[in-house]
Amino acid sequence: MNMLKKIGIIYKPDATNVLTVCEKIEKFLRNKQILTIVSEINNPSKDIDFAIIVGGDGTILRAARFYAPLNIPIFGINVGRLGFLAQVKVDEIEDGLTKLLEKEFKIDERLMLSLNNSTNALNDIVIKNSNSSKTVEFMVFLNGKPVCNYLADGIIIATPTGSTAYTLSAGGPVLEPSLEAIVLVPICPHTLNARPLVIPANETIEIRSKEEKDWFSVFVDGQIDINGQKSVIIEKADVKAKIALLNKDDDGFYTVLREKLNWGIDPRA
- Say which of 57, 124, 153, 221 is annotated catalytic: 57
CB distance 72 to 61 below 8 Å: no
| Strand, helix or coil for residue 95 | helix
How far is it, in rounded angstroms, from Cα 67 to Cα 83? Answer: 19
CA 139 to mean position of chain CA atoms: 25
Whether 57 is catalytic: yes
Cβ neighbourhood burial of 26 (10 Å; 0-12, 13-18, 19+): middle
Pseudo-torsion of CA 153, 157, 160, 163, nearest 10°? Answer: -10
Paired strand residues for 229: 216
For residue 57, what is the enclosing H or E element?
Answer: helix 57-67
DSSP states along 157-201: EE-TGGGGTHHHHTTPPP--TT--EEEEEEES-SSTT---EEEET
Q: How many CB atoms lie within 10 A of CB 17?
A: 11
- Residues contacting 181, CB < 8 A, separation 6+: 160, 175, 198, 199, 200, 201
- Catalytic residue set: 57
